[in-house]
Amino acid sequence: MPHTSRRPVGQIPWTASQQVAPLAVVNLGLSNAQAKEVQRWLARSWNYNDAIDGQLGTNSWKAFQRFLRSAANYNDAIDGVVGPNTVKTLQRWLKAHYGYTGAIDGIAGSGTQTAFKRFANAR
Protein backbone atom coordinates (compact mmCIF):
# COMPACT_ATOMS: atom_id res chain seq x y z
CA MET A 1 0.00 0.00 0.00
CA PRO A 2 1.53 3.39 -0.96
CA HIS A 3 2.16 5.93 1.79
CA THR A 4 -0.03 8.99 1.62
CA SER A 5 0.46 12.00 3.80
CA ARG A 6 -2.76 13.22 5.33
CA ARG A 7 -3.41 16.02 7.77
CA PRO A 8 -6.09 15.58 10.38
CA VAL A 9 -9.26 17.36 9.34
CA GLY A 10 -9.30 21.02 10.44
CA GLN A 11 -5.56 21.34 10.89
CA ILE A 12 -3.70 23.65 8.56
CA PRO A 13 0.09 23.78 8.55
CA TRP A 14 1.72 26.99 9.73
CA THR A 15 3.25 29.25 7.15
CA ALA A 16 5.58 32.15 7.74
CA SER A 17 2.75 34.65 7.31
CA GLN A 18 0.64 32.88 9.94
CA GLN A 19 3.41 32.94 12.51
CA VAL A 20 3.38 36.72 12.73
CA ALA A 21 0.19 37.87 14.41
CA PRO A 22 -1.18 41.27 13.43
CA LEU A 23 -1.01 43.98 16.04
CA ALA A 24 -4.20 44.26 18.04
CA VAL A 25 -6.29 47.39 17.75
CA VAL A 26 -8.09 48.32 20.95
CA ASN A 27 -10.12 51.49 20.50
CA LEU A 28 -12.23 50.88 23.64
CA GLY A 29 -15.36 52.05 21.89
CA LEU A 30 -13.87 55.11 20.21
CA SER A 31 -14.72 55.91 16.63
CA ASN A 32 -11.80 56.28 14.23
CA ALA A 33 -12.19 60.07 14.40
CA GLN A 34 -12.04 60.03 18.21
CA ALA A 35 -9.06 57.67 18.18
CA LYS A 36 -7.26 60.03 15.75
CA GLU A 37 -7.71 62.88 18.24
CA VAL A 38 -6.22 60.72 20.98
CA GLN A 39 -3.30 59.83 18.69
CA ARG A 40 -2.69 63.52 17.90
CA TRP A 41 -2.67 64.26 21.63
CA LEU A 42 -0.27 61.35 22.22
CA ALA A 43 1.97 62.63 19.42
CA ARG A 44 2.08 66.13 20.95
CA SER A 45 2.85 65.05 24.48
CA TRP A 46 3.75 61.37 24.90
CA ASN A 47 6.26 60.47 22.18
CA TYR A 48 3.81 58.75 19.85
CA ASN A 49 5.35 58.81 16.39
CA ASP A 50 3.33 56.30 14.42
CA ALA A 51 0.44 56.84 12.00
CA ILE A 52 -2.54 59.01 12.91
CA ASP A 53 -4.93 56.41 11.54
CA GLY A 54 -7.67 56.06 14.14
CA GLN A 55 -6.49 52.60 15.12
CA LEU A 56 -5.21 52.45 18.71
CA GLY A 57 -2.64 49.71 18.31
CA THR A 58 0.45 48.74 20.24
CA ASN A 59 2.38 51.98 19.71
CA SER A 60 -0.62 54.13 20.63
CA TRP A 61 -1.07 52.16 23.84
CA LYS A 62 2.65 52.33 24.67
CA ALA A 63 2.37 56.11 24.53
CA PHE A 64 -0.84 56.00 26.57
CA GLN A 65 0.89 53.80 29.16
CA ARG A 66 3.68 56.39 29.38
CA PHE A 67 1.00 58.98 30.09
CA LEU A 68 -0.64 56.74 32.70
CA ARG A 69 2.73 56.14 34.36
CA SER A 70 3.17 59.89 34.74
CA ALA A 71 -0.41 60.88 35.55
CA ALA A 72 -1.88 57.88 37.35
CA ASN A 73 0.96 55.82 38.87
CA TYR A 74 0.78 53.04 36.29
CA ASN A 75 3.49 50.61 37.37
CA ASP A 76 3.36 47.82 34.84
CA ALA A 77 5.25 47.27 31.58
CA ILE A 78 5.17 49.83 28.78
CA ASP A 79 4.30 47.11 26.29
CA GLY A 80 1.25 48.40 24.44
CA VAL A 81 -0.92 45.57 25.75
CA VAL A 82 -4.30 46.71 27.07
CA GLY A 83 -4.44 44.21 29.89
CA PRO A 84 -6.18 44.38 33.26
CA ASN A 85 -3.51 46.57 34.90
CA THR A 86 -3.63 49.12 32.08
CA VAL A 87 -7.43 49.16 32.23
CA LYS A 88 -7.49 49.47 36.04
CA THR A 89 -5.13 52.44 35.91
CA LEU A 90 -7.18 53.98 33.10
CA GLN A 91 -10.35 53.46 35.15
CA ARG A 92 -8.82 55.18 38.20
CA TRP A 93 -7.74 58.11 36.04
CA LEU A 94 -11.11 58.32 34.26
CA LYS A 95 -12.85 58.21 37.66
CA ALA A 96 -10.79 61.18 38.83
CA HIS A 97 -11.18 63.24 35.64
CA TYR A 98 -13.93 62.06 33.26
CA GLY A 99 -16.87 60.85 35.30
CA TYR A 100 -16.25 57.11 35.37
CA THR A 101 -18.41 55.69 38.16
CA GLY A 102 -17.90 51.95 37.82
CA ALA A 103 -15.66 49.49 39.59
CA ILE A 104 -11.88 49.49 39.23
CA ASP A 105 -11.96 45.95 37.91
CA GLY A 106 -9.73 45.91 34.83
CA ILE A 107 -12.68 45.19 32.55
CA ALA A 108 -13.23 47.81 29.86
CA GLY A 109 -17.01 47.64 29.84
CA SER A 110 -19.55 50.21 28.75
CA GLY A 111 -18.89 52.61 31.65
CA THR A 112 -15.15 52.63 30.97
CA GLN A 113 -15.78 53.13 27.27
CA THR A 114 -18.23 55.99 27.87
CA ALA A 115 -15.72 57.82 30.08
CA PHE A 116 -12.92 57.13 27.57
CA LYS A 117 -15.12 58.71 24.86
CA ARG A 118 -15.56 61.79 27.09
CA PHE A 119 -11.78 62.03 27.33
CA ALA A 120 -11.34 61.63 23.56
CA ASN A 121 -14.00 64.23 22.80
CA ALA A 122 -12.19 66.71 25.06
CA ARG A 123 -9.08 66.51 22.90
- The predicted-structure confidence for 84-93, as pLDDT tens digits, reads as follows 999 999 999 9
Q: Which amino acid is residue 21, in one-letter code?
A: A
Whether 31 maps to a domain, the answer reads yes
What does the pLDDT average to over 79-103?
Answer: 97
Phi, psi at 72, each rounded to 5°: -140, 20
**What is the total count of domains within the chain?**
1
- The predicted-structure confidence for 24-59, as pLDDT tens digits, reads as follows 789 999 999 999 999 999 999 999 999 999 999 999
Whether 14 maps to a domain, the answer reads no
| Residues 14 and 6: beta-carbon distance below 8 Å | no
Which segment of 8-12, 68-72, 85-89 scores lowest on mean pLDDT? 8-12
Whether 115 maps to a domain, the answer reads yes
If one counts every other C-beta atom within 10 angstroms of the C-beta of residue 51, the result is: 13
Cα torsion 25, 26, 29, 31 to 10°: value is -30
Whether 1 maps to a domain, the answer reads no
Whether 93 maps to a domain, the answer reads yes
| Residues 108 and 28: beta-carbon distance below 8 Å | yes
Q: Which domain holds residue 70?
A: 24-121
Cα–Cα dist 107/84, whole Å: 7
